[in-house]
Amino acid sequence: MTPNFNNKDIVLTHRFFRVLKKDDVVVIRDLELGIVIKRIKHVDKLHLNVASDNNTYNSPTNNKKYKLNQVIGKVLFKM
């Protein structure tokens, strides 16, 4: 998620979100990669698609469909 998020950044997330929308940043549990931070590109009632902020890196999570229950939290703040 460089340039907006870097290694060792500290993020504050909210686990009990009501609504997720396009361009929200979320923490997701990916079954193959572990825990990742990504930006929502599309969301519907059951799934969401994400992308990286770094357009020069072809992340394996780009355009991957995740179930909403894989979202650990919505990012509220980073330090």
Three-state DSSP class for residue 33: coil
Question: How many angstroms separate the CA atoms of 51 and 60, rounded?
Answer: 9
Q: Is residue 17 part of a domain?
A: yes
Is residue 59 pLDDT above 90, yes or no?
A: no
Read off the pLDDT of residues 3-49 as tens digits, 9 standing for 90 and up: 899 889 999 999 998 899 999 999 999 999 999 999 999 999 999 99
Reported in sequence order, the residue ranges of the chain that DSSP labels E, i.e. its strands, are 11-14, 25-30, 34-43, 47-51, 65-67, 71-78
Quick one: CA torsion of 30, 34, 38, 44, rounded to 10 degrees?
Answer: 20
Count of domains in the chain?
1
Domain that holds residue 70: 11-78
Q: Is residue 5 part of a domain?
A: no
Q: Which residues partner with 13 through β-bridges?
A: 75
